[in-house]
Every structure is written in C-alpha cells, then in structure tokens.
C-alpha cells in the first residue's frame, strides 16, 4: 500500500504532505513529504517527533497504527501539534 495525501491545518495557514506505506512489521508509516519550516526552532528528532530512514517519518509511539485510517488521523494530529510548536515552541507531545 502506498497512499499520498495533503493536509491543511485547521488554521488554514499550513499544508503538510504525507505518504503512507505499510511496513513488514504491520505498521503503517507516515512519511513527511512536505511541511512548513520550523522557523528557527530545534529540528532534532526528539523535538519534532520524527524518525529518519533516508526520509523523515512521524514517530507514532509504542503502538503505531496498523491501518491507513488510523495513520492518517495520527498524521493530522501531528501536523496540528507541529504547527503549534512552530508558532509557540510548545512541545509536540504536549496535549
């Protein structure tokens, strides 16, 4: 499975592009195809909740999604938290 999508944040100010790919482990990984600049904020994996395997993808914690619907929902939430992080500096994993 490979699926691509674009998400516009609720504020309407930012777009995020994702591609979703099934992994041998059964998880569905959300690769980040495009996103806004971090505008000087730290860009390390811990700060941004991203992993890298040649491409950046979203860290989905200990229970990564195993279907496309859940992966899309998670990536939308990550995009909203990332937009907030860029704007305010509030950590991505903070509710």
Entry pTM: 0.93
pLDDT on residue 1? 63
Q: What does the domain layout of the chain look like in residue ranges? A: 2-88
CB of 5 within 8 A of CB of 20? yes
Query: Where residue 95 falls among pLDDT bands split at 50, 70, 90?
Result: low
* 52 Cβ contact partners less than 8 Å away, ≥ 6 residues apart: 45
Q: What's residue 43's pLDDT?
A: 95
Q: pLDDT averaged over the chain? A: 94
Binned at pLDDT 50, 70 and 90, residue 93 comes out as confident
* Contact status, residue 19 vs residue 2, Cβ threshold 8 Å: yes
Q: Which residues of 12-23 are buried (b: 16+ CB within 10 A; e: fewer)?
A: eebebebebbbe
pLDDT tens readout for residues 1-32: 689 999 999 999 999 999 999 999 999 999 99
pLDDT above 90 coverage of the chain, percent: 87
């Amino acid at each position: 499975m490979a699926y691509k999508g674009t998400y516009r944040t609720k504020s309407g100010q930012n777009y995020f592009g994702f591609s979703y790919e099934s992994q041998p482990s059964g998880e569905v990984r959300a690769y980040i195809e495009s996103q806004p600049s971090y505008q000087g904020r730290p860009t390390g994996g811990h700060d941004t909740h991203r992993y890298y395997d040649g491409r950046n993808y979203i860290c989905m914690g200990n229970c990564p999604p195993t279907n496309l619907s859940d992966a899309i929902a998670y990536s939308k939430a990550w995009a909203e938290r990332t937009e907030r992080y860029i704007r305010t500096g509030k950590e991505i994993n903070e509710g």
